[in-house]
Structure 1
Amino acid sequence: MSMGSAARVYRSLQGLFAVYKPPGVHWKLVRDTVETNLIRDLNSLGSPAPRQAIRFLPGRSEGADRSELTLTAARLPVLADHPLVLGVGHGNKMLTGMYSCHLTKEYTLQGLFGKATDDFSDSGRLVEKTTFDHITRDKLEKILAVIQGTNQKALLAFSGVDLKSQEAYEMAVKGLLRPLQKTPPVITGVRCVRFAPPEFTLEIQCLNETPQYLRKLIHEIGLELRSAAVCSHVRRTRDGFFTLPDALLRSHWDLHSVGEAVRQAGPRVRAALSRGEAEETDPGEGRGSGAEAEPRQGCS
C-alpha cells in the first residue's frame, strides 16, 4: 500500500483483517497494541494543517461602574482535523455482519488424560487423579462420533429445516447449515488427529463457542471414558473465512501490513456478507420456525 496523506490512508482502512494472538496475552492488549501502532503510523504521515474556523470567545471588559460580557472573534483549528482524534471505520459494522452470518470456527485442542482441575485447564487446581490405561483410540473416537451426531441434530433444529428432508441432507453435506439466530455452542465437526496417552489432540469446528466451553468439552470426554481429562492447549486455526496464513504476527501490526491485509481480505468479506444477507432474506422452502433444542456437550 503506497503511503500518502494520513486522511487518504485512513480512508483506505475500511475492512477486516486477522491478527495472531500470542498464548497468554489478553485480547484487549492485542487490540490496544494494534490500535496504538496504527495511530502512530498515521500520525507520522504528511497531513495538511488543520482547517481554521472563526470562534467567538466570551470575555469581560471592566468599566468604571461594572464589567460587561463581550465576545471576541478568534481563529482556532477545527478539532475534527486534529491528529490525535480517533475515528472508527466501517470495518466495525462489517465485523457485526460477519458474526451475524454464523460462520464456523476451527480449533486445535490438546488434552491430557489422568487428572481433573477446578477450571478444566492443565494449570488449574488439581481436584482428582485417575487411571487412563484402559482408554484406546477406538473408544475415544466412538465418544467423538456420538458428540458430533448429537450436535448435528441440534444444528438441524436450529437451522429450521425438516430433519427428514432432502434439503437437510444436501445442506449438511455441503456444510451450509446455519442457525437462524444466536444459539448455545454447537459442534459441527470433531476428530482425533493425535493419540499418545496420556496426551491427545482434537480438531473441532464449532459455532458460538467460548474457551471455557472447549475446556469443559475435554473434561466431559474424560468422564465419558471413565477417567478424567484437562485441556492443556487451545488454538484457533480458522475464524470464518480467516485462516492462520491471514493472521498478522506482532511484527506486522503496522499501517502498511494492516492496509494490505484489509485489501486482500476485501473480496472474501464482501462475498461472505452477501451470502449471509441472501440467506436472511430468502431462507428457502421447507424451513419452519425451528424447534428448541439444547446441544449436549457430552454424551451418556
Structure 2
Amino acid sequence: MVKFKTAASAYKTLNGLICVYKPPCVPVKQVLHIVKTNLCRDLNALPDRPLEQRVEIIGSTNEPMKVKVVPNYADDPRVCGPRYIIEDFKCTWASHLGLFTSGVLLIGVNEGTKLAYKIKSGQPTRAYKVHGQLGKATDTYFWNGKTVERATFKHVTREKIDKVVANMQAAHQKTMFEQSGLQMDLQSTYELASKGLIRPADNKLPVLYGIKCVYFDSPNFTLEIQSVNEYDKYLWTLVHDLGVQLKTAAYCTGVQCIRQAKFDVNLALLRKHWTLEHITDNMNTCQEILDENEQLIKPESALLTA
C-alpha cells in the first residue's frame, strides 16, 4: 500500500479512475461527497508544508531598527482553515446507478473525470444480478411499491424460467438489430457482429446482450443480465414481464451491478476502504486495466453502430 510523506505529494497522485462499491439506498452524489470528504480528511492529517514566514521590523524609527523573520500565523490552518477542502476535488461517475441499485461504480477524480466521460460515451457493457420474487406485483415493479396483484406460482419451475428468459433474450437481440437498421440474414450483419458487440446508435436505447437465471428457490429467483444503456426501472420491468409470461406475478427485490466493462466487484472498494491509501492503490490498479484495454477510452474505434 502506498505511503505518503506529505499531503502535497499525495494530492498530486489523485488524478485517475477509481472503482467503488455503491451501497443500496445511497445516492451516487452522496457517494461522491463521501469520497471527497474522506480524501480531505486524510490529506489534512498528513504532514503539511512549513508555515510561511513574514518579515517584522521593530524598534523606534529614530533609532537603528531590528529586522527579523517570524512565522506568519495568517497561514496557520487553525486560522485560515484546512489546507484541503471538498472544492479542491472534481469527481464524476462513468455510468450512473439508481438509488436502490448497489454494486460497481466507476468514479473519475480530478483529471480522471476525462477518462470517466470517455468510458461513458463508449457505452460500456454492464452485468447485473437482478433479484425477484414470484406471487406478487407492485405498481412500481419494485419491493417498495404498492401491491396491485397476487397470483399463485406453484406451477413455475426452473425449466420454465430458463425457457422464458431464453425467448426474452432472443426477442431483445432481434429488436436490437432491427432498431440498428441491420437485417439478420445479411452477410454484412454477421461480419459486423463478429467484430464485437454491436452498440445501438442511440445511447439512450437499452439493449440486452444476455439474460439467464442463475438461482431459483421458489418463490425467489435471480437473473444475470448483460446490457448497455439500461437503468434501474428498466430492469424492474423485465422482472415484471417475466412474471407475466410465466402466467403469474413477479416483482424486483434488488439490483446489484457486478461488472462494468473490465471492472468487477473484486476490484470495487467497500465503504470502509474509501480512504486515501486504498483509493490511490485502487487508482493505480484501474490505470493498469485501462492500459491493457485501450478500447475502453477510445470509443470512436470500438463502437459498432449502424
Write the letter of the residue equivalent to 2:14: L
Query: Normalised by the size of structure 1, how large is the TM-score?
Result: 0.77
- 1:160-191 CA-to-partner distances (Å, cap 9, x unmatched) read 65533445435546653223441321111000
Q: Which residue of 2 aligns with 1:32?
A: 33
1:126 aligned to 2:128?
no
Greater shift after overlay, 40-49 or 256-265?
40-49
- 1:78-124 CA-to-partner distances (Å, cap 9, x unmatched) read x9x95335133111111111111111111111111111112112232
Distance 1:180 1:211, change over 3 A: same
Gaps of 5+ in 2: 54-73, 91-109
1:10 aligned to 2:31?
no
Q: Which residue of 2 aligns with 1:279?
A: 302
Distance 1:241 1:44, change over 3 A: same
- 1:200-243 CA-to-partner distances (Å, cap 9, x unmatched) read 11111111111111111101111112211011121111112210
- Give the Cα separation in 2 of the matches to 1:210 and 1:100: 16
Equivalent pair of 1:115/1:128 in contact (CA under 8 Å): yes
Equivalent pair of 1:104/1:240 in contact (CA under 8 Å): yes
- 1:24-82 CA-to-partner distances (Å, cap 9, x unmatched) read 33332222111100111112223325779xxxxxxxxxxxxxxxxxxxxxxx87x9x95
Percent same amino acid at aligned positions?
37
Equivalent pair of 2:206/2:227 in contact (CA under 8 Å): yes
- Give the Cα separation in 1 of the matches to 2:244 and 2:122: 34
Equivalent pair of 1:109/1:233 in contact (CA under 8 Å): yes
1:228 aligned to 2:263?
no
- Give the Cα separation in 2 of the matches to 1:269 and 1:50: 39
1:254 aligned to 2:256?
no
Question: Alignment length, in residue pairs?
Answer: 261
- Give the Cα separation in 1 of the matches to 2:89 and 2:157: 55
Distance 1:162 1:4, change over 3 A: farther
Q: Which residue of 1 aligns with 2:231?
A: 210
1:107 aligned to 2:109?
no
Q: How does 1:143-162 map to 2 (within 5 A)?
A: 143-157=164-178
Gaps of 5+ in 1: 53-75, 291-300
